Amino acid sequence: MKQPESIQASLPEDIALKIASCLQVGDLCALGSCCRFWRDLCGSDVLWESLARQRWPSLDLLSESSSVDHSESSSLKGWRDFYVKRHAEMAERATSVVQHVEQCSFSDSLEIRDYLKAIEHLNSMCLSFKDVELFLFRPEVNVLLNLVGLHYCMHWLEVPAEHVMEVLQNSEISQRQVCVKWWKLSRLFYGFRMRDESHSRSVSLQDLALSQENEVLGVLHRGAIHKVLRVQISVFHPTCTSWSFPEHASL
**Is the confidence at residue 33, as pLDDT, over 60?**
yes
**Is the confidence at residue 61, as pLDDT, over 80?**
no
pLDDT tens per residue, range 97-140: 999 999 999 888 999 999 999 999 999 999 999 999 999 999 99
CATH 1.20.1280 domain span(s) along the chain: 3-84
- Under 8 Å between Cβ of 203 and 177: yes
For 84-106, what is the mean pLDDT?
A: 95
Q: Which CATH class is domain 3-84?
A: mainly alpha
Pairing of β 177-184 and β 228-235: antiparallel
The whole-model pTM stands at: 0.79
